[in-house]
Amino acid sequence: MKRHTQLYSTKFNLIQPSLKIFLDNKADEYNRPFFIEADPICIPHSFSKQQDIEIAGFFAAIFAWGNRTTIISKSRELLQLMDNAPHDFCLHHSDKELKRLTAFKHRTFNATDLLYFVSFFKLHYQQHQTLETAFSKWMNKKDASIENALNGFYRYFFSLPDVPERTRKHIAAPLKNSSCKRLNMYLRWMVRKDKKGVDFGIWNNIKPSQLIIPTDVHVLRVAKRFGLLTRKQSDWQAAVELTDALKQMDRKDPVKYDFALFGLGVLEKF
C-alpha cells in the first residue's frame, strides 16, 4: 500500500482523478454488509423499530472510543439492562428498572451520565416521534449547516434542570471546537441513503451533502498522506477542511469516503 502515497498524493483544491477513482473503489469495498459485524453500527442493526435504532445507535456512537470489541460489548450490556427495548424503557421505566442502570460504566461514562441521558430521551420522545428533530430543528433556511445542528443539539440536550456538570464532556459541539467525531458518525448512520445495507438513511430533513466526515486519528492520518488535509489540529476546522476536499469528489455524498479512509487507516494500517 505504501506505493499509493506518491501515486495519489495531491494538493488541496486540486483533486487528481486517480485519487477519486482509488477512494471510490475503497469506499465501495468497505461499504458492504460484512463491515457491520465488527463495527459499532452493528448495535442499531439489532433493531427494527426506528426509535430503538436511534437510541441504540446514539449510545453506540457515544461509547465509540477505544477498542471496537469493547464498545460493542458495553453497548450490548447497556441495552440488555433496558430489556433490549430502549425506546419503551426510556419512556416507561419504573424506579426499580431505572435502578438497574446504576452499576453501568464504560470508561469515563458512568451511572450519573446514563441517568441523565435516559431523562433526556424520555423528555424528547414524549414530544417527538424521532430524534432527528433534536438536530434538524436548529438548521434554519438561512444557514442550514450541521454546525448549527450540532450546537443546537448540545444546548437542547443540556436544557434539563440540574444537569450534572461531568456529563457535558460526553456530548461534543463545534462551539467547543471539537471535531465531533462520534456525533458526525452517528449522523452518517442515520442520514446517508444508499442500497449497500450499512448506513440506515432513516432521517429525511438532513441531507447527506450537509454531513461532516467523522475524523479520528486514523482518518486524519490517511487524509494527510493523500494531501486532503493540511490543518495540524484535530478539531472542527480540520473536519470541515477535509469534508470540503471530499466534496470535490462527491458533492452530494462526501461522507461516503469515511469508509475508504477508515478502512485504509484501521483495517489496512495504511
In the chain, where are the structural domains located?
A: 1-30+213-270, 40-176
What pLDDT was estimated at residue 33? 97
Which residues have a Cβ under 8 Å from the Cβ of 37 and sit 6 or more positions away?
none
- In tens, the pLDDT along 115-138 reads 999 999 999 999 999 999 999 999
The residues facing 109 across adjacent strands are 106
Given a contact cutoff of 8 angstroms between Cβ atoms, the answer to whether 189 and 61 are in contact is: yes
- Is residue 12's pLDDT more than 60? no
Given a contact cutoff of 8 angstroms between Cβ atoms, the answer to whether 147 and 140 are in contact is: no
What pLDDT was estimated at residue 24? 98
- Is residue 10's pLDDT more than 70? no
What pLDDT was estimated at residue 2? 40
- In tens, the pLDDT along 159-208 reads 999 999 999 999 999 999 999 999 999 999 999 999 999 999 999 999 99
106: three-class secondary structure by DSSP: strand
What pLDDT was estimated at residue 14? 62
φ, ψ dihedrals at 11, nearest 5°: -95, 145
The residues facing 14 across adjacent strands are 11
- Is residue 81's pLDDT more than 60? yes
Tell me the C-alpha distance between 92 and 55, whole Å: 15
Mean pLDDT of 225-251: 97
- In tens, the pLDDT along 17-53 reads 999 999 999 999 999 999 999 999 999 999 999 999 9
H-helix or E-strand spanning residue 51:
helix 50-62
